[in-house]
C-alpha cells in the first residue's frame, strides 16, 4: 500500500514532483560544478602561471658562488664546472616528475661574426622532443618557457624541421645592429668550429636576451667545443605554496625529524623538488627563483581562497533554494494530508510517506544535477583554460550528503506543520 | 482613489496573512539577489585586487638613463606622470665595484624601503638594513666571504684616477641581512646611498630605477611612452616578462570569475523562479474563486504582480545589502583590503529580482486564469 501510494503520488502529481526534482537538480549541478572547479582551479592556475617561466634553476656546484662575481655580470663560465647532458632525462624521473612541466638546458659562449663583432650565444632546446622511459612524450624547451617573447619577424625555430640547414634565432637589438633579417644566412665562428646558420626568426624579449643569438643545444656545443656539457638548466615545475615546514627544510633538510622529512619530501614544495633534482643531477645546485616561485604561491593561494568563498556562497544559495522549495511544496499539500489524518493516518505514517516521496525525487534530481554539473564544469574549463576540469571522486559523496541534508532540513518545518495540523480546520479551508 | 486603496490593502493583507509562505518567497528572492550583487561586485573588483597580488612579481617598468646617470629630480619628474595610487614601489639603484677582503664585489646602493616594496619576493634572512653602516649581502656573497648576520666587514673603494699615493677609501659595515632571491641579486652587496656616497665620494645619480606600477599592459605602455617622450634624460622600458604574463594570467582569472558568476547566477535565478512558481501555484483555488466572483483576468494579474513586485523589491534590497556584505567579507579575507562600493549595483539588483519574481509569478497565474474557474475550484 505504501509503495502504491508513493507510485501514485509520482504519477498523479508528476508536475509538482518534476519541479522539485528540477530545483534539486539545479542545486546539485551548481554544487557539483563549483566543487569541481574549486578543487581543480589550483592546478589550472598553476599551469597558467607557467607563463612567467622557470621557477627553478640548476647550476653546477661551484659556479653558483663564483661565476658572475669575478666577471661582473658576464656569463662566461670560468670555473670549468659543467652539468652532464646525458643526465638531463633524469629530471623526469624524480619523485615529483609529474609536476615538472617543462625544462631547458643552456650552454653559453661567445661567437665571432664575419665583421669581427662578438656576440653572446646561448644554446638551448626550443621544442625538443623527449621520449621518456615511462612512455611519456613531451616537447620541452624555450618555445613554451619564454611565452612572453614576441617573434617580430619569421617564426620560432623548429627543432623537428629536417631541411638540413642549421638554424638560429636572433634578438631584436642584435638584428638591428647587424642588419639581420629573418631568412638570412649567417656565418658564425665559435672557439672550436664554425657554422652557417639560417635565421628563422627575430624575437623581442624586452630584456638582455635582445642582444643575444639563440641556437639549438647541439650546435652550440659544437661551436664552443663543449660536447655533452651544459652550463645551467631552467626547470618549470608545478609547486605547492611554501609553508613553515618548507621554509625550515629549504634552509637545511637535515634539521627535520623523520616524519617531517617524509611529509616535506612527498609534497611538491619548490624546495623539495630542488632537493630531488640535486639528487639526480650530479654535482648540481638547484635553487628556487624566488621572483617566480613565491609570487606563484601567493597568487595560487588567493585564487583558491576566492574560489572557496564563491563556492561556499553558491552552496548556501543552492541549499537554501532546495530547502525553500521542499518546504513550499509540502505545505501546499496540507489539504491532502488533512484528509489522510481525518481518515485515521498516524503522524509517523504521513511523515514517512512525505519523506520517501521527497527523497525519491531528490535522488533523481541529484543524479541529473550531478551530470549537468560536470557539464557546466567542463564548459568553464574549456572556455577559460582550454582544458578539461578533472572531476575528483570526492565531489560525489559531498554532493549526495549535501543534498540529503538540505532536503531533510527543508522537510523539518513542513513536517512540524503537518503534525500540528488539525484535520477539521484544514478540510474546512481555514 | 478608493480602488487604489483597496488594491494596496489587498496586497499588504495577503503578504501579512500568509506569513510563512511569504517568508519562504522572500528568502528565495533574497538569496538570489545576494548572489547576484555579491558575485557582480567580486567580478568587477577582482582584477583590481588581483593586480595588487601580481605586484609580487616585482618591477614592471625600468627607467634607464639616456646619458650618464639619472638624477633624482628626473625620477621624480617621471613619477609625476604616473597616477600616485598606482605606484607600488620605486627602487633606484647605483652600482659600483668595491672590494671586500681585496676581492671585487658589486655593491648596489638603493633605498631599502623602495626595494622592499618593488621586489616583495626578496627573502631576507635577518633584517633589512635601516641605518647607515648597515648592509645586506646576497647569499652567494655571504657564502664566498663567510659572512653571517651580525658579522662586521670592511669594504674598500679604489678611485678610478688612482695614483700611487692616493689612499683607498674604506668603510666598516655590519651585515644585518642575507638576501635569497634565486637570481643575480644574490651576487650583490646592498647599502644605503649615504654609505655609497661616503665610500666612493661620488654624487647621487642612479644607474637604473625599477618601478612597480599597478596598471595593465596598455596603461604601462602609455606611461612609458610619455616618460620617454617628454623627459630627455630618461628612457622608460617595460619588463615584458612581467607585464605580458600578468595580462595573460589575469585575463584568464577574470574569465574564470565571469563564467562562474554566469553559471551560478543562471542556476540561482531558475531556482528562485521555481520557488516563486510553487508559492503562487498553491493559490490556484483562490484565483478560481475570484474569477467565479467576477474578477477580470487583468485585475487578478495586477494584484498578484503587485505582490510579486513588493516581494521582489524587498528581497532585492535585502539581497543587495547581504551581497555587499559577502563581497566585503571575501575581499577582506582573500585580499586584506576592502571593496569599492558600487552604488549602481543596488538598482540593478532590485530590478533583476523584481523581473525574475514577476516572470516566475506570471507562469502559474496565466495557467490559472486561462482555465475555467469551475475546473480550478473543483481541483482538476
Write out pLDDT tens, residues A169-206: 999 888 888 888 888 888 888 888 888 888 888 998 88
pLDDT of residue A79: 59
Distance separating alpha carbons of residues A217 and A125, to the nearest angstrom: 6
Contacts of A413 in chain B (CB under 8 A): 20
pLDDT of residue A105: 92
pLDDT of residue A428: 67
Q: Which of A305, A324, A379 sits opposite B28 (nearest CB)?
A: A324
Q: Are A199 and A22 in contact (CB under 8 A)?
A: no
pLDDT of residue B283: 76
What radius of gyration do chain B's Cα atoms show? 34
Angle between helix A347-380 and helix A334-342 axes, rounded to 10 deg: 150
**Strand ranges, E, within A13-98:** 56-60, 83-84
Contacts of B36 in chain A (CB under 8 A): none
Over 60: is that where the pLDDT of B140 sits? yes
Q: What is the pLDDT of residues B192-214, one digit of tens each?
A: 888 888 888 777 788 889 999 98
Whether A317 sits inside 8 A of B105 (CB atoms) is no
Task: Place A358 in a pLDDT band, splitting at 50, 70 and 90.
Answer: confident
Q: Which residues contact A182 (CB under 8 A, 6 or more apart)?
A: A153, A154, A155, A199, A200, A201, A202
Task: Place A71 in a pLDDT band, splitting at 50, 70 and 90.
Answer: very low
Contacts of B106 in chain A (CB under 8 A): 69, 72-73
Task: Place A371 in a pLDDT band, splitting at 50, 70 and 90.
Answer: very high
- Average per-residue pLDDT for chain B: 83
Contacts of A380 in chain B (CB under 8 A): 256, 259-260, 263
Mean pLDDT check: name the lowest of B16-20, B154-158, B361-365: B16-20
Dihedral sign for Cα atoms in the order A373, A379, A380, A382: positive
Contacts of B315 in chain A (CB under 8 A): none
Q: Are A128 and A138 in contact (CB under 8 A)?
A: no
- Chain B interface, best mutation among A244, A322, A324, by max B CB count within 10 A: A324
Whether A65 sits inside 8 A of B140 (CB atoms) is yes
Whether B271 sits inside 8 A of A325 (CB atoms) is yes
Q: Does B178 touch chain A (CB under 8 A)?
A: no
- Residue B1 C-alpha, separation from nearest chain A C-alpha, in angstroms: 31
pLDDT of residue B167: 61
Distance separating alpha carbons of residues A297 and A294, to the nearest angstrom: 5
Contacts of A289 in chain B (CB under 8 A): 181-183
- Chain B interface, best mutation among A233, A317, A375, by max B CB count within 10 A: A317
Task: Place A72 in a pLDDT band, splitting at 50, 70 and 90.
Answer: very low
Average pLDDT of span B338-350: 85
Contacts of B97 in chain A (CB under 8 A): 72
pLDDT of residue B96: 86
Q: Which of A33, A51, A64 sits opposite B248 (nearest CB)?
A: A51
Distance of CA B195 to the CA centre of its chain: 38
Contacts of B46 in chain A (CB under 8 A): 306
Residue A386: closest C-alpha in chain B = B252
Over 60: is that where the pLDDT of A382 sits? yes
pLDDT of residue A73: 44
- Residue A226 C-alpha, separation from nearest chain B C-alpha, in angstroms: 24
Average pLDDT of span A133-146: 82
pLDDT of residue A67: 45
Which residues, numbered 231 to 260 in chain B, qualify as contacts with chain A under a Cβ-Cβ cut-off of 8 Å? 237-242, 244-245, 248-249, 252-253, 255-257, 259-260
Contacts of A295 in chain B (CB under 8 A): 54, 56-58, 121
Whether B21 sits inside 8 A of A328 (CB atoms) is yes
Average pLDDT of span B145-172: 75
Better pLDDT: B329 or B25: B329
Q: Is A37 exposed, middle or buried (0-12, 13-18, 19+ CB in 10 A)?
A: buried
Task: Place A78 in a pLDDT band, splitting at 50, 70 and 90.
Answer: low
Contacts of B274 in chain A (CB under 8 A): 19, 22-23, 26, 325
Residue A32: closest C-alpha in chain B = B264
Mean pLDDT check: name the lowest of A51-55, A302-306, B20-24: B20-24
Q: Which residues contact B315 (CB under 8 A, 6 or more apart)?
A: B25, B26, B27, B28, B29, B30, B32, B33, B353, B357
Over 80: is that where the pLDDT of A62 sits? no
Whether A148 sits inside 8 A of B181 (CB atoms) is no
Q: Please provide the size of chain B in residues.
A: 380
Q: What is the pLDDT of residues B30-81, one digit of tens each?
A: 888 888 888 888 888 888 888 888 888 888 888 888 878 888 888 888 888 8
Q: Which of A22, A37, A383 sits opposite B255 (nearest CB)?
A: A383
Q: Which residues contact A162 (CB under 8 A, 6 or more apart)?
A: none
Contacts of B279 in chain A (CB under 8 A): 328
User: Which among A19-23, A88-92, A103-107 has the top mean pLDDT?
Assistant: A103-107
Over 70: is that where the pLDDT of B162 sits? no
Distance separating alpha carbons of residues A291 and B183, to the nearest angstrom: 8
Residues pairing with A106 in the sheet: A124, A232
Average pLDDT of span A30-58: 86
Q: Are B187 and B141 in contact (CB under 8 A)?
A: yes
Q: Which of B97, B182, B252 sits opposite A289 (nearest CB)?
A: B182
**Strand ranges, E, within B158-283:** 169-180, 188-191, 208-213, 234-238
Percent of chain B with pLDDT over 70: 95
Distance separating alpha carbons of residues B62 and B209, to the nearest angstrom: 6
Q: Does B332 touch chain A (CB under 8 A)?
A: no
Distance separating alpha carbons of residues B2 and B4, to the nearest angstrom: 5
pLDDT of residue B230: 86
Task: Place A124 in a pLDDT band, splitting at 50, 70 and 90.
Answer: very high
Q: What is the pLDDT of residues B4-19, one digit of tens each?
A: 787 777 777 776 767 7
Q: What angle do CA B348, B28, B340 make, to 5 degrees?
A: 35
pLDDT of residue A370: 92
Whether A33 sits inside 8 A of B104 (CB atoms) is no
Task: Take residue B183 and report the three cell numbers written for it.
Answer: 637570481
Whether B31 sits inside 8 A of A48 (CB atoms) is no
Record the pTM: 0.79
Q: What is the pLDDT of residues A290-331, one digit of tens each?
A: 888 888 888 888 888 888 888 888 888 877 777 777 777 777
Over 70: is that where the pLDDT of A155 sits? yes
Distance separating alpha carbons of residues B212 and A292, to the nearest angstrom: 15
- Chain B interface, best mutation among A62, A206, A289, by max B CB count within 10 A: A206
Amino acid at each position: 500500500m505504501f509503495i502504491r501510494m508513493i507510485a501514485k503520488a509520482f504519477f498523479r502529481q508528476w508536475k509538482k514532483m518534476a519541479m522539485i526534482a528540477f530545483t534539486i537538480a539545479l542545486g546539485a549541478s551548481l554544487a557539483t560544478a563549483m566543487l569541481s572547479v574549486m578543487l581543480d582551479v589550483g592546478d589550472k592556475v598553476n599551469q597558467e602561471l607557467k607563463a612567467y617561466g622557470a621557477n627553478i634553476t640548476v647550476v653546477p656546484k661551484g659556479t653558483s658562488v663564483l661565476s658572475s662575481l669575478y666577471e661582473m655580470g658576464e656569463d662566461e663560465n670560468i670555473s670549468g664546472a659543467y652539468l652532464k647532458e646525458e643526465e638531463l632525462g633524469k629530471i623526469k624521473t624524480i619523485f615529483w616528475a609529474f609536476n615538472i612541466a617543462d625544462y631547458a638546458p643552456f650552454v653559453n659562449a661567445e661567437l665571432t661574426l664575419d665583421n669581427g663583432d662578438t656576440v653572446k650565444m646561448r644554446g638551448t632546446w626550443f621544442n625538443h622532443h623527449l621520449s621518456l622511459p615511462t612512455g611519456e612524450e613531451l616537447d620541452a624547451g624555450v618555445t613554451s618557457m619564454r611565452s612572453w617573447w614576441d617573434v617580430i619577424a619569421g617564426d620560432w625555430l623548429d627543432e623537428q624541421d629536417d631541411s638540413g640547414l642549421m638554424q638560429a634565432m636572433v634578438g631584436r637589438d642584435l638584428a638591428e645592429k647587424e642588419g639581420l633579417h629573418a631568412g638570412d644566412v649567417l656565418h658564425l665562428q665559435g672557439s672550436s668550429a664554425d657554422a652557417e646558420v639560417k635565421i628563422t626568426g627575430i624575437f623581442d624579449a624586452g630584456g638582455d636576451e635582445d642582444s643575444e643569438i639563440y641556437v639549438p643545444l647541439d650546435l652550440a656545443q659544437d661551436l664552443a667545443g663543449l660536447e655533452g656539457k651544459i652550463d645551467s638548466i631552467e626547470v618549470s615545475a608545478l609547486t605547492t605554496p611554501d609553508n613553515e615546514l618548507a621554509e625550515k627544510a629549504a634552509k637545511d633538510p637535515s634539521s627535520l625529524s623523520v616524519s617531517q622529512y617524509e611529509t616535506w619530501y612527498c609534497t611538491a614544495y619548490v624546495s623539495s623538488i630542488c632537493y630531488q633534482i640535486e639528487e639526480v643531477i650530479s654535482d648540481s645546485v638547484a635553487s628556487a627563483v624566488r621572483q617566480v616561485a613565491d609570487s606563484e604561491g601567493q597568487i595560487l593561494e588567493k585564487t583558491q581562497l576566492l574560489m572557496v568563498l564563491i563556492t561556499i556562497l553558491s552552496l548556501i544559495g543552492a541549499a537554501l533554494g532546495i530547502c525553500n522549495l521542499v518546504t513550499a511544496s509540502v505545505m501546499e499539500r496540507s489539504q491532502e494530508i488533512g484528509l489522510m489524518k481525518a481518515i485515521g493516518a498516524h503522524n509517523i505514517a504521513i511523515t514517512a510517506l512525505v519523506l520517501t516521496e521527497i527523497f525519491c525525487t531528490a535522488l533523481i534530481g541529484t543524479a541529473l544535477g550531478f551530470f549537468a554539473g560536470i557539464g557546466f564544469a567542463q564548459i568553464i574549463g574549456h572556455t577559460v583554460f582550454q582544458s578539461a576540469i578533472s572531476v575528483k571522486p570526492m565531489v560525489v559523496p559531498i554532493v549526495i550528503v549535501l543534498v540529503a541534508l538540505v532536503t531533510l532540513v527543508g522537510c523539518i518545518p513542513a513536517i512540524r506543520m503537518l503534525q500540528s495540523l488539525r484535520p477539521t480546520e484544514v478540510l474546512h479551508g481555514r | 482613489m478608493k480602488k487604489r486603496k483597496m488594491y494596496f490593502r489587498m496586497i499588504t493583507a495577503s503578504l501579512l496573512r500568509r506569513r510563512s509562505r511569504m517568508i519562504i518567497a522572500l528568502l528565495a528572492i533574497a538569496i538570489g539577489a545576494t548572489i547576484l550583487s555579491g558575485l557582480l561586485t567580486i567580478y568587477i573588483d577582482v582584477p583590481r585586487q588581483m593586480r595588487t597580488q601580481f605586484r609580487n612579481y616585482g618591477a614592471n617598468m625600468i627607467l634607464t638613463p639616456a646619458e650618464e646617470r639619472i638624477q633624482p629630480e628626473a625620477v621624480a619628474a617621471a613619477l609625476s606622470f604616473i597616477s600616485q595610487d598606482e605606484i607600488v614601489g620605486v627602487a633606484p639603484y647605483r652600482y659600483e665595484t668595491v672590494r671586500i677582503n681585496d676581492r671585487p664585489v658589486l655593491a648596489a646602493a638603493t633605498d631599502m624601503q623602495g626595494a622592499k616594496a618593488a621586489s616583495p619576493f626578496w627573502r631576507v634572512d635577518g633584517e633589512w638594513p635601516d641605518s647607515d653602516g648597515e648592509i645586506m649581502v646576497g647569499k652567494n656573497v655571504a657564502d664566498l666571504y663567510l659572512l653571517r648576520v651580525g658579522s662586521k666587514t670592511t669594504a674598500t673603494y679604489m678611485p678610478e684616477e688612482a695614483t700611487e699615493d692616493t689612499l683607498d677609501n674604506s668603510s666598516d659595515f655590519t651585515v644585518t641581512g642575507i638576501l635569497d632571491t634565486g637570481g643575480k641579486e644574490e651576487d650583490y652587496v646592498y647599502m644605503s646611498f649615504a654609505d655609497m656616497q661616503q665610500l666612493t665620494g661620488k654624487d647621487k645619480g642612479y644607474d637604473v630605477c625599477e618601478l612597480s606600477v599597478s596598471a595593465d599592459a596598455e596603461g604601462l605602455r602609455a606611461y612609458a611612452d610619455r616618460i620617454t617622450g617628454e623627459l630627455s634624460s630618461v628612457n622608460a622600458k617595460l619588463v615584458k616578462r612581467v607585464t605580458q604574463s600578468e595580462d595573460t594570467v589575469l585575463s584568464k582569472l577574470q574569465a574564470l570569475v565571469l563564467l562562474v558568476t554566469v553559471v551560478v547566477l543562471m542556476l540561482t535565478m531558475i531556482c528562485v523562479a521555481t520557488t516563486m512558481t510553487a508559492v503562487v501555484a498553491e493559490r490556484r483555488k483562490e484565483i478560481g474563486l475570484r474569477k467565479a466572483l467576477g474578477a477580470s483576468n487583468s485585475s487578478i494579474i495586477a494584484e498578484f504582480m503587485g505582490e510579486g513586485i513588493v516581494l521582489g523589491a524587498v528581497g532585492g534590497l535585502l539581497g543587495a545589502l547581504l551581497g555587499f556584505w559577502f563581497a566585503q567579507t571575501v575581499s577582506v579575507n582573500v585580499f586584506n583590503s576592502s571593496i569599492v562600493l558600487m552604488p549602481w549595483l543596488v538598482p540593478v539588483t532590485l530590478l533583476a529580482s523584481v523581473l525574475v519574481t514577476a516572470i516566475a509569478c506570471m507562469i502559474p497565474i496565466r495557467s490559472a486564469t486561462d482555465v475555467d474557474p469551475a475546473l480550478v475550484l473543483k481541483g482538476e
